[in-house]
Structures are given as C-alpha cells and as structure tokens.
Chain A
C-alpha cells in the first residue's frame, strides 16, 4: 500500500509559467516532508522541505504548501525554467519506521518548454 502518492507521472509547462507538483499521503504520523529533484544520470538531490507544524515554506522560486487535513502537499515553481526539467520525488519522514527514514513517491517528470 503506497503511503506517499504522486498521481501525475508527468507534467508539461511553458517557460515562465507556474509548475505545480502534487503529492498525497496516508500516514498522519509523518512529521516532515521533502522534495527531491533528479536529473538523468544523477542521484536525487534535496530541494526543499516542510515540517508538519507549518503550512508553507518558501525558498526562492520554490514553495511547498502543506494541507494536513487533506494529507496533501504541493510544490510550486514560479517562474518555471527549462533547467527545472527533471523528475521530482515527494518524500515523507517516517522516523524509526520500516524501510528507513523516508518514504518516497514514484515521482513526477516535469518538462518545461522554452
């Protein structure tokens, strides 16, 4: 049973517009959420995170929103740039749980068109 779900396998946006990547989770015990970005032939790299006690965290063009009642988080990228084209993974912290500290979604491939 997937505890972290990214229901859109891909997303295409125009350069300069907003990209919104979505993530849903089922475990209300998750206390921290992270987004990773992965380019081809590279490992995932940490992008931005949010604690479960907050509803928004902003870092430059990247903002993560958390809606705990809906068990939903989203990553907003604005304005989107061609260099943002990558696979984005949502992850939730399951400290001390099975399979390690983080549970990952399956990823969303973002394509930003010039």
Chain B
C-alpha cells in the first residue's frame, strides 16, 4: 500500500488478556519501528527491525512484550497478560535503510485500552 497500515485502530481488552497488534510497512522499507505514546507522554521507543539483523529490543518495557517481523514485511507486537499501564497508542513506522534516508513514515497507530 501507499502508507504504513496498522490494525486494529482501536482495541479494548480486559486486564490479563493477551493482545496482538499488526503493522504493514511500506513495501521496500527494510527498517520497521514500534513506539508507544501513553497519555500526556512523548514517543517511547520499543523495538526496531532492520532487514535480517537481530532486532533491537532495548526499549521493550518488560518480558510481557514481544515482536516479530516476517522478512521485510508484516510485524506483530504482542503484549501478554496486559496491565492497565499498557494502555497507550502503539505506533509503527517504517523507513528505507539507506544513508540517504532522512525520516520515518508512521502509521495511524493502534489505541489500546486495558480495562
């Protein structure tokens, strides 16, 4: 597609349930990033994938969070045993990984509400 697509756009889940968020990056973009923005906060880096390299997971807040990416396409972010503090907008972005690349293209995000 023309842009970064995220699904679902909204998700309400009960505390303790697992959720899976999906990101379809722009075709040909080798790099993919997950961020989250909690209410009133800035962008918080979670994880990024670059081609076939091992992902940088340094931003994942706990072992309840994990992410996968199939080749250079779709990525899924999984949150196990959700907690209320996981409520946030989860943003995915992609970019071509070249020295001439100067920015990311973001999706519209998934708003996760844990009740």
Q: Interface on A for B, CB 8 Å cutoff?
A: 6, 32, 34, 36, 41-46, 49, 89, 91, 93, 95, 98-102, 104-107
Contact = CB atoms under 8 A, between A and B. Distances in A.
Interface of B: 4, 31, 33, 35, 41-43, 45, 48, 50, 56, 58-59, 91, 93, 95, 97, 99, 101-109, 111
Contacts of A106: 41-43
Contacts, number: 61
A41 B108 contact: yes
Contacts of B95: 101
Contact of A42 (B33, B35, B102, B108): B108
6 contacts: A100-B50, A100-B56, A101-B95, A102-B104, A105-B42, A106-B42
Contacts of B91: 43-44
B58 A101 contact: no
A100 B42 contact: no
Contacts of A43: 4, 91, 93, 106-109
Given A44-B91, A100-B33, A100-B48, 20 more contacts: A6-B42, A32-B102, A36-B106, A42-B109, A43-B4, A43-B93, A43-B106, A44-B106, A46-B105, A89-B43, A93-B102, A99-B56, A99-B58, A100-B56, A101-B97, A102-B104, A104-B35, A104-B43, A106-B41, A107-B43
Contacts of B4: 43
A13 B45 CA distance: 30
Nearest to A32: B102
